[in-house]
Amino acid sequence: MRDRFLKGLSDREAAAWLFAFEKEWARPEQLPPPGDWRTWLFMGGRGAGKTRAGAEWIRSRVMGADPPSRIALIGETYADVRDVMIDGVSGLLAVYPPGERPSWLPSRRRLEWRNGTIAQVFSADEPDGLRGPQFDLAWADEVAKWRYAERCWDNLQFALRLGVRPRQLVTTTPRPLPLLQQLLNAPDCVVTRAGTAANPYLPAAFLEAMQRKYGGTRLGRQELDGDIITERADALWTREIIEAARRQEAPHLKRIVIAIDPAATSRRNADATGIVAAGQGADGRGYVLDDATISNARPDQWAARAVALYHRHEADALVAEVNQGGDMVAAVIAAVDPQVVVTPVRATRGKVLRAEPIAALYAQGRISHVGCFPALEDELCDFGVDGLSGGRSPDRLDALVWALTALRLTTDAAPRLRSL
């Protein structure tokens, strides 16, 4: 029946059918909600159709009777906007028939439509980039991953001032962050929710595998069901403590270290390699500066990332756990940059015992995160006396613990660095 139907269509009719998203393909939660709202917040699990909803919303507005003149496209990084929002399989170029697509000008970081509408690309890592421009439409993707979420969002609100009724769409997998809580409570924000399983076009084998591994877990509820999950009752860290000490900028730092918790293998399901930068201020407090953790990476890849972070922050030391790699860790770092001296450390106690003194420093208000590190903070607030839920490896947390321990901010009860 499908084949007969398709064969009976002309090329123009087939294109019209394939690209009739609102009429033929959209689920109700993927369509713009009615009402006089300013913000549409679409929270959903992985693969729930958030990107397609965002791209189709932009397309419908540009093709409408009153098209916007300026659109802001904001992602975690420029690469995320390009690879997901614009050039992705559900991105802005994919939702148009070939002859109707806007022109993508990567050197100018903008899309241009034939009717004069222009979309500019912004990175949430550079929130001040939104100072100056003005827009009547905005699409903000994965705001729960933005490092400077509050600053970027505030700058966007000042820029969203063109037209009679400027509007913005937020598409994100949820995390219990203050910005999302503010949006959920805002009177001019409407909320749409969808889980991964709501997408009928995902392979059944994928859904079965995800449900089998993550169904019922905290990670599954967040990444598959699209629920906002708060920290565990027995977690060593709480979001309230992290949020209370958060800073947008670090003071002058007396010392900066990069810590690596290397994965034993780079296979597909291997642990990530934790890479965290931290510094000590003149006030004696610790400052978490960066989370550059990398997954499924070969030794040369994680070594290159760690060395780049070392030079970016002009670090004083690079600390690496060598329980898994022994002399290999120092060797791969030296292959990237022989001038970087590696201080090897070996774990002689369990992860919880090593983490407890660092968690105590957080509780005392002596550690600040400079910006937001959602994935790292998720691990911290899901780490209890039995580790992470689901038995996952706390790679980011391990690197954080080594970095802050190397700064010697802890009391005598803290784990000591043990050089080989």
Read off the pLDDT of residues 285-337 as tens digits, 9 standing for 90 and up: 999 999 999 998 899 999 999 999 999 999 999 999 887 655 688 889 999 99
Supply angle C-alpha 86, 191, 39, rounded to 5. 60
The proportion of the chain whose per-residue pLDDT surpasses 90, expressed as a percent, equals 61
Residues 204 and 280 in one domain: no
Tell me, yes or no, whether 416 lies in a domain. no
**Which residue, among 415, 396, 314, has the nearest Cα to 356 in the 3D structure?**
415
Among the candidates 223, 250, 268, a domain finishes at 223
Tell me, yes or no, whether 230 lies in a domain. no
70 SS3 class: strand
Question: 281 to each of 112, 251, 256, 391, 399, how far by Cα in Å?
Answer: 46, 6, 9, 35, 19
Residue 409 has pLDDT above 90, yes or no: no
In whole numbers, what is the pLDDT of the chain averaged over residues? 89
Q: Which two three-digit tokens encode residue 192?
A: 């749409």
> Looking at residue 329, what is its pLDDT?
84
Tell me, yes or no, whether 415 lies in a domain. no
Q: pLDDT (tens digit, 9 = 90+) per residue, 165-185?
A: 999 999 999 888 889 989 999
Residues 210 and 249 in one domain: no
Residues 289 and 218 in one domain: no
User: How many separate domains does the chain show?
Assistant: 2
Confidence of residue 11 (pLDDT cuts 50, 70, 90): confident
Residues 245 and 385 in one domain: yes
The proportion of the chain whose per-residue pLDDT surpasses 70, expressed as a percent, equals 93
Tell me, yes or no, whether 363 lies in a domain. yes
Residues 303 and 346 in one domain: yes
Q: Which two three-digit tokens encode residue 11?
A: 């090329």
Residues 134 and 249 in one domain: no
Residues 188 and 281 in one domain: no
Strand partners, 120: 72, 110
Q: Is 132 exposed, middle or buried (0-12, 13-18, 19+ CB in 10 A)?
A: exposed
> How big is the chain, counted in residues?
420
* Domain of residue 18, CATH code: 3.40.50.300
Model confidence, pTM: 0.74
Pairing relation of β-strands 253-261 and 189-194? unpaired
Residues 194 and 51 in one domain: yes
Residues 163 and 60 in one domain: yes
> Looking at residue 152, what is its pLDDT?
96
Among the candidates 223, 248, 280, a domain finishes at 223
> Looking at residue 361, what is its pLDDT?
95
The four Cα atoms 44, 46, 52, 55 give a dihedral, to 10 degrees, of: 80
| For range 131-157, the mean pLDDT | 95
> Looking at residue 89, what is its pLDDT?
93
Q: Phi, psi at residue 143, to the nearest 5°?
A: -65, -25
Tell me, yes or no, whether 64 lies in a domain. yes
Residue 239 has pLDDT above 70, yes or no: yes
Q: Write out the H or E segment, with its range, that includes residue 169.
A: strand 167-172
Q: Write out the H or E segment, with its range, that includes residue 392.
A: none
Q: Which two three-digit tokens encode residue 169?
A: 């769409």
Residues 67 and 175 in one domain: yes
> Looking at residue 171, what is its pLDDT?
97
Tell me, yes or no, whether 420 lies in a domain. no
* Domain of residue 386, CATH code: 3.30.420.240
Q: Which residue has the higher pLDDT, 143 or 417?
A: 143
Tell me, yes or no, whether 418 lies in a domain. no
Q: What is the largest CA-CA distance in the chain?
A: 79
266: containing domain: 239-406
CA 119 – CA 92 distance, rounded (Å) = 11
Residue 418 has pLDDT above 70, yes or no: no
Residue 258 has pLDDT above 50, yes or no: yes
Residues 268 and 340 in one domain: yes
Q: pLDDT (tens digit, 9 = 90+) per residue, 19-55?
A: 888 888 889 999 999 999 999 999 999 999 999 999 9
Residue 381 has pLDDT above 80, yes or no: yes
Q: pLDDT (tens digit, 9 = 90+) per residue, 64-101?
A: 889 999 999 999 999 999 999 999 999 999 999 888 89
Among the candidates 194, 223, 252, a domain finishes at 223
Residue 205 has pLDDT above 70, yes or no: yes
Tell me, yes or no, whether 398 lies in a domain. yes
Contact 109, 116 (CB under 8 A): no
Residues 219 and 354 in one domain: no
